[in-house]
Amino acid sequence: MRNEQEFIDLLYERLAELRAGVETAVRKALPQEGSNFQARLERDVLVTERSRLLAAFDAGENGLCFGRLVFRDGRDHHIGRIGIRRDDADRTPLVIDWRAEVARPFYLATGHTPMGLRRRRHLTTEGRRVTALHDEILDLADTVRTGHEGADADAVLLAALDAARTGRMHDIVQTIQAEQDRIIRAPHHGILVVEGGPGTGKTVVALHRAAYLLYAHREQLARRAVLIVGPNPAFLGYIAEVLPSLGETGVLLATPGELFPGVIATGTDTPRAAEVKGSAAMADALARFVRDRQTLPDPVTVIDHEDGELRLDADTAYEARRLARETGLPHNLARPHFAFRVIDALTAQLADRIGADPYGGPNLLGPDDIAQLGKGVATSPEVHRAIEELWPDRTPQQLVTDFLADPVHLPEADADAIRRTDGDWTPADIPLLDEAAELLGEDDSAARAAAEAQRQERIAYAQGVLDLSYGSRTQEFEDRDDEDSEVLAAHDLVDAERLADRHEEADHRSAAERAAADRTWAFGHIIVDEAQELSAMMWRLLMRRCPTRSMTLVGDPAQTAEPGGCGAWETILAPYVDDRWQHVRLGVNYRTPTEIMEIAAQVPRATDPSFEPPRSIRSTGIRPWARRTDDVARAVAEAVAGETRSEGRLAVIAARSRHEALSAALPAASTGPAPDLTSPVVLIDPRQAKGLEFDAVIVVEPQELGDSDLYVALTRATQRLGVVHARPLPAGLTMLSAPDAAASDR
């Protein structure tokens, strides 16, 4: 124990040295304004890089080192959250990053396949103090004993699983199991589907996979960023600390309702409306709706003009529309093509009227005269109003608002379900907005023109710098012939461009920050949790965000609850990659004890007798209980009072319709769209509970929950489960005993 404590002390001393060095570099760099582009750029890059290092050092502060590998060949490595070298001159690692290849035996080695190990040590620490050691002998020929050998190889894992929850997901870097390690380190190209029932650790495995991919493919993924999509704000808050604890901060976490920049979906849909909006048929309906915005005069549009009325007839507009559509451009980008052809036709009409030879000869107007007429037509507000009526410019928000007010191209029942003239954006609207943005396109010509103007200013500035630098050589070149002077001018121009581009003011936001603001951003990798819940339209959005189809999809079709959810993996992926995807399944339940899982499994078995839940590896000896009452809110309050005497976090899970009454009975409970999960008691609905875990759970009135929601609610507890109800229990839960009987089992 003492030797390991001395090593941990040394390790933290080295970490303090590294942190002090980085902080000094940042402190010196920040006040430096810089006299030119290059100086400011170098300062900003240094601050950005050093700040990232500081974040990694801070992340490694807790549980910096947790393992040690002793090999048969004499190698001896400590394993930790981040890699640290002994000093700047000595490249020998003091501790090895858990993601390095040499660290894999810590997770994969067994007595049957020791992978060259003599022994594997687990270090348990509290802060900077070593509190326990656990050695596993992997080479039976090794007779050396330390006194820390343990017969139970899973002791460290079980201790972590039995620990009280904190309201935040913890990393499992110290207890990654072999099946999990293989998923974490799988190649990042293509689509990997990770399926697993409740408690199998699929979410935390996906998060560790993100950390591993950023380690193994740093240059590529740090530039393109990794997107993690979670089901709701409560879930994102729950997992928010996992990646930072592993030294990774360059990841964008978002719910489906946050994937359209500038819009946060706070509204709610009826289940039927969400189902309709999520169906694949919406893509065709929106496309047809956009084409409906490209109209024709009926039969003629009369336009006031200073040189007399102009008449835009249906045939002329039809030809302009046909040619604009043939460009294949989105609606807003094709609009100028339509406008130009209409303007040309109206200009020709005006020229024929003004320049007609009364004696039948050729038109009396010359090219310059016609060009002047065209300029007048092109700048006419009346002409532009006519064009706007026939081919209006629209934003995605305007288009979707118009569509929801009049949902044409849908069956009448579907249209009635989604019709809306006001209200907040809902999560189901987000993929509609994204689809609309694709159909409309964005005219960025003005932005590109402004960027080019700024670039020309930088080139002019750079040329001035070069002129000053080469001033002493000017006379030398003036004495040369014209050909040499032209070569010099070209040389200076190229150098000025390079200098300007080199010192362009850079966008120093992280890749994740830039991606969050850019709808067209292509992520290097996307991880989707509860993937079975996403609609067909949401998958269209996500596939656009990742053209390389580099994804990790995590979920369990058996837990599909959203009406528009795709559920089956084949349904999700076939339209995009056919059968070119990999499927792995996690079969061990680390969270839910056997006593609770036996009860929860009866819910899906009521409709599917062949259902087999993941195998629980823990047993607490505590039987779940049920209490029937006429006063549900009071009974829940009494149950909560009893449970809060125990250590850990408690969740009351009930249908949303009961929350008002339960909130009044539980004034200390945190609730709402994003409850504080670190609170001792939270009140949530089953959808909010997805992916979360608590020491104790009280499920309220299970008859009010659908089978999938009930299954989710029953499987959130790591220790204790209770049910409070007034109505009869659903089939499968009737075996629950009264609270007093359950307590006697403890």
- Of 8, 124, 117, residue with least CA distance to 66: 124
DSSP per-residue letters across 444-508: -HHHHHHHHHHHHHHHHHHHHHHHHHTGGGHHHHHTS-HHHHHHHHHHHHHHHHHHHHHTPPP--
Taken in order 518, 521, 526, 530, the sign of the CA dihedral is: positive
Annotated ligand binding at 199? The verdict is yes
Annotated ligand binding at 613? The verdict is no
Would you give the end-to-end CA distance of the chain in angstroms?
35
Residues 6+ apart with CB under 8 A from 71: 77, 116, 117, 118
Task: Classify the phi-psi angles of 390: left when phi > 0, otherwise alpha if psi is within -120 to 50, otherwise beta.
Answer: alpha
Q: Does residue 616 contact residue 597 with C-beta atoms inside 8 Å? A: yes
Q: How far is it, in rounded angstroms, from Cα 99 to Cα 96?
A: 8
Token code pair at residue 299: 């039969």
Q: How far is it, in rounded angstroms, from Cα 205 to Cα 185?
A: 10
Q: Which amino acid is at 348?
A: A
Token code pair at residue 708: 């999938």
DSSP assignment letter at 609: T
Annotated ligand binding at 706? The verdict is no
Can you list the alpha helix ranges (DSSP code H) found in 356-444?
367-378, 381-390, 396-405, 412-418, 430-440
Q: For residue 588, how many other CB atoms are within 10 A of its CB?
A: 16
Q: Does residue 393 contact residue 333 with C-beta atoms inside 8 Å? A: no
Residues 6+ apart with CB under 8 A from 81: 59, 60, 63, 64, 66, 97, 98, 173, 245, 246, 247
Residues 6+ apart with CB under 8 A from 116: 71, 72, 73, 105
Annotated ligand binding at 295? The verdict is no
Annotated ligand binding at 567? The verdict is no
Q: Which amino acid is at 686?
A: P
DSSP assignment letter at 263: B
Q: How far is CA 424 from the centre of its chain?
A: 22
> For the chain, how many residues are written?
746
Cis peptide before 299 (omega within 30 of 0): yes
Annotated ligand binding at 575? The verdict is no
The alpha carbons of the chain give a radius of gyration, in whole angstroms, of: 33
Which residues are annotated binding-site positions for ATP? 196-203
Which residues are annotated binding-site positions? 196-203
